[in-house]
Amino acid sequence: MSGKSELSSCRKGRLPSSSLVDDTYTIYGRLVDKDTMIYMLNSREGQDDALRVIPIVGAGGIGKTTLASMVFHEYKSSTRYFRLRNWLRGFENKSSNLNVFEVQGWACVSDDFGATCVIKSLLEYITGQESKVGSSLELVQHELMEKLRGKKFFIVLDDFRSDRLHYWDVLKTCFSVGALGSRVLITTRSKEVARIVTTTHDFIYELDELSLDESWFLFEDIVFQDRDLCKNRVLTDIGLDIICRYKGLPLTIKKIGLLLLSKGNDEVEWRKVLNNKTWEEARESS
């Protein structure tokens, strides 16, 4: 594959959305980000408490979906724990202070299938079953509202693209029927989307790039995994140069790392990757 075509897939860089984190490699950093997100989701002050919409905004491949997924699953496991604890105690205490969401749902908004499909995939996530309500927008909207009515919910809308902004009115209507404390987390590359969907500008979360150290650890994990390459001083030095130049975006680091992995110990090939300016272009356009 040529450098250019490797990069065009990087530039497009849209991976299929799933609430599950890709756990092939360790997730580096993001603990502070995760804690801040949890604070934003838990805190109860402010006029937007009834329904708070929190956008995570950042460049393509910076790790928005990964962060949303980490947070989403944190709540899933605390809800499971809460239910188990209450079951063991033989009662259901719905007024507990523990922030537990009665309903959690995840849907991707970048797919080209319309708002009806987004709502259907939310319904399917929530019920665990294929939605049988047909393809009328009104019917699926009604069905989702019935599932959310009076419940404290936590919904993630992943990869909300600016050309899908017209879905927002439809989705917002569905979200208006929940209980106090309901939350919607939206990942987006677009500041415009973030500005329009948010309920409070204080709660727009701009995700930073990985630090140099975090970038290096991820790179090392991919490139030097199971190999003796780290004993090769020259390759380690080229690797360090690469990371100094292309640090920050985990997707780019992964792409470069996997490319180097395929080049074995060939120093010439490693240098070509180091000097390939198209990685820079990919970063700039993401």
- The contacts of residue 106 (CB under 8 Å, 6+ apart) are 17, 18, 19, 72, 122, 125, 155, 156, 158
Is 28 near ligand ATP (CB under 6 A)?
A: yes
Is 260 near ligand ATP (CB under 6 A)?
A: no
Task: Name the binder of 104 from Mg ion, ligand ATP, none, CB < 5-8 A by kind.
Answer: none
Indicate the SS3 state at residue 206.
strand
Task: Name the binder of 247 from Mg ion, ligand ATP, none, CB < 5-8 A by kind.
Answer: none
Task: Name the binder of 63 from Mg ion, ligand ATP, none, CB < 5-8 A by kind.
Answer: ligand ATP
Select 68 or 238, whichever has its Cβ closest to Mg ion: 68
Is 181 near ligand ATP (CB under 6 A)?
A: no
Q: How far is CA 134 from CA 69, 96, 174, 281, in A?
A: 29, 38, 17, 44
Q: From the CB of 44, what's the least distance to ligand ATP, in Å?
A: 28
Residue 185 CA to residue 17 CA, distance in Å, equals 14
Query: Which spans of this chain sit near Mg ion (rule: CB under 5 A)?
Result: 64-65, 159
* Residue from 9, 16, 20, 22 in contact with ligand ATP (CB under 6 A): 22
Is 25 near ligand ATP (CB under 6 A)?
A: yes
Window 56-115: residues binding ligand ATP (CB under 6 A)? 58, 60-66
Is 283 near ligand ATP (CB under 6 A)?
A: no
* Residue from 120, 183, 189, 283 in contact with ligand ATP (CB under 6 A): 189
Is 27 near ligand ATP (CB under 6 A)?
A: yes
Is 10 near ligand ATP (CB under 6 A)?
A: no
Q: From the CB of 121, what's the least distance to ligand ATP, in Å?
A: 16
Residue 97 CA to residue 47 CA, distance in Å, equals 19
Q: From the CB of 18, what's the least distance to ligand ATP, in Å?
A: 10
Select 60 or 181, whichever has its Cβ closest to ligand ATP: 60
- The contacts of residue 178 (CB under 8 Å, 6+ apart) are 51, 148, 149, 150, 151, 152, 153
Residue 19 CA to residue 171 CA, distance in Å, equals 19
Placement of tokens 């004993």 in the chain: 231
Looking at this protein, which amino acid is placed at residue 251?
L
Range list of H helices, the chain? 3-12, 31-42, 64-89, 114-127, 137-148, 167-175, 191-197, 212-223, 233-246, 250-262, 267-274, 278-285
Residue 26 CA to residue 249 CA, distance in Å, equals 15
Binding letters toward ligand ATP, positions 224-253, x by CB under 6 A? --------------------------xx--
Question: Rule CB under 6 A: which residues touch ligand ATP?
Answer: 13-15, 22, 25, 27-30, 58, 60-66, 159, 187, 189, 210, 218, 250-251, 254
